[in-house]
Structures are given as structure tokens and as C-alpha cells.
A = this chain, B = another copy of it.
Amino acid sequence: MGSEVNTISRAAPRKLTGKKQEIDAFIDQFDYFLFDCDGVLWQGNVLLPKVVETLEMLRNRGKKLVFVTNNSSKSREAYSKKFAQFGIPVQVDEVFGSSYSTAIAISRVYKIPPGKRVFVIGEEGIEHELAAEGISYFGGSAPLPFPEDDVAEHVGPDPSVWAVVTGLDRKISYAKFAIAGGYLQDPNVHFFATNIDSTFPTHGKLLPGAGTCAAPLTLMTGRTPIAFGKPSQAMMDSIEQKYSLDKSKACMVGDRLNTDIQFGLKAGLKGTLAVLTGVSKEEDILKAGEIGEGPDVYLDCLGDLLG
């Protein structure tokens, strides 16, 4: 069976059957499994079937698990509490979110100079991770320090501002866009995004994703942000470094072709596995396969890995 598995082609996504031998051969190729969460482990507030058992099985077989999420509204700590609520045991260190990815890029890769600060469009998740990295920030969930109607008076350059960072902000406002757009007029001010997802699936609905909090700034300034969520390879680089990941033994598991599967393919991971419990449908997967952008294999749901 091993040779059969090795002939899996990225150009032709294959649905894994329930045969134990085939599934075992698939799993045995990998030491690391990177998981997207929403649409793979759960849908909104509903845990998907046999997820706890599947993750336990993988751990028992010695696999290293990393939970990779573009959700920027929660810190790793807050996000790991969501796992606990579902009865999924995780360590905070196994959770890798786009806000964390952004914070470590700012402090360790781009190395924000002392005395400089970051203007945040986003929620507690990005604020928490920036603070944990010792990065000075303002904006975010704090109320505007001036009446909203006076925003024009407060738009303009600020030499202390080194970057604008956008993530999902469900309290977005005209004033926040105006202030951020003003800073970004200065080409020396960096433009970062935790992620640029177009939508945020929840409760079976497609709500606006973090990308909608960056798009108005792109229109205003002609600038596109550097994004640190999937499918950005900046996120993969950080994961690789943090977990000493061996890409030739890693598999990305996700429900979205244009973020999760792209993320694994662009990184050249050994494998990619799609599940049909989220955004992308079987027809999308087969279509993507025709242009070489499909996953290696797919399953109806993650629990099918139990055989």
C-alpha cells in the first residue's frame, strides 16, 4: 500500500476511503499535523463528530499537533480555552494564531525600534499578543480619545507611529479608517495585517472577515498590507522556526482551499488534507485539482481518519 500512497498527485485530489490500511498508510507519512480549527474541528460553537478521538489517536501515534488559526480576535491563551470548552486537551504552545504570528514578526523579524508604536485596528487577540511581545500599541479596543465627529482634526502623520496593524475588528468605525489612512500616507509607516480573509464563517453564515478591515485602507492609500496569517508564508516561517518543523514530514489539514490548502502547498509540505465540513465543497476541491491547487486527499470530516 505504501507505494500507492506515494503516487498521490497534487493535481488530482483523492478521497480517502474508509479502509484502515489506506488511512494508516496516509497517516504514517507524517510526524506533524497542522490543523485549521473552525470548519475542521468545530463549526462555530458545535464540535464536529469524533474530533476528540481523532486527535487523541494521532497523539497516541506520536504525532506532533499544531493548531493554526487566522482568527485574530483571540489570543492563543483565549483560543486554547475554546478547545477546553469542547473537551479537546491542548497546550497554549500548540496554538498558533495570526495575531501571535503578527506580534512575533513585528518584534523579532521587523524589529520595531524602541520608542515607536503601532496603531491597531482589531480586537483583544492582537492587543494581548502585542503586549506579550512588549510592543507599544494604541487604538484597538480602546474608545476613541476624541468625539467621532471631530475625526478630521486628528487625521495626520505621527512620528511615533511605526506601523498600522489590521485584524478582525467588529467595532470598526469610520474614524478608525480615517486615522489609520492618515498614518499610512507616510510610506515609511508599515502596513501589516493579521490576515486578509474575505469572510469569517460562523453559525453557517459568512460574516465579514479581517480583510474587510484592511480593504478600505488599501483603497484609500493604494497600499496592500503584509499579512501574517494563512496562506502567508511569513506564518509558515514562524511555525517552522518555533516547532523545528520538518516540512517533508508535515501535513496541513483544512477546510478552505484559498487559505489552508494554499498555505500547505506554497510551503511545499509533504501533504495536504481537506475536509468537507467547512467552506470549500467537493466540487471546489476537484476544480482546484484541475489547476494543481487542490489538496492531496480529502475526507467528508476529520473523524473519518479513525477509519
Residue interface mask A206-219, B partner, CB < 8 A = 1:
11110111011011
Contact A215–B207 (Cβ < 8 Å): no
CA distance A203 to B182 in the complex (A): 13
CA distance A153 to B44 in the complex (A): 13
**Distance to closest chain B CB from A119 (angstroms):** 15
Contact B153–A203 (Cβ < 8 Å): yes
Tallying the copies of this chain within the complex gives 2
Given known A-B contacts A177-B212, A216-B215, A202 and B170 have beta carbons under 8 A apart: no
Q: Is A205 at the interface (CB under 8 A from chain B)?
A: yes
Interface footprint category on A: 20 to 34
Q: Is A239 at the interface (CB under 8 A from chain B)?
A: no
Q: Is A156 at the interface (CB under 8 A from chain B)?
A: yes
Q: Is A151 at the interface (CB under 8 A from chain B)?
A: yes
The residues in A between 276 and 290 inclusive whose CB is less than 8 angstroms from any CB of B are none
Contact A212–B205 (Cβ < 8 Å): no
Contact A198–B178 (Cβ < 8 Å): no
User: Which B residues touch A129, using CB under 8 A?
Assistant: none
Q: Is A152 at the interface (CB under 8 A from chain B)?
A: yes
Q: Give the contacting residue for A216; candidates B155, B182, B202, B216; CB below 8 A.
A: B216
User: Which B residues touch A198, using CB under 8 A?
Assistant: 219-220
Q: Which of A174, A211, A213 has the most CB of B within 10 A?
A: A174
A binding-site residues for B, Cβ under 8 Å: 148, 151-153, 155-156, 169-174, 177-178, 181-182, 185, 198-199, 202-203, 205-209, 211-213, 215-216, 218-220
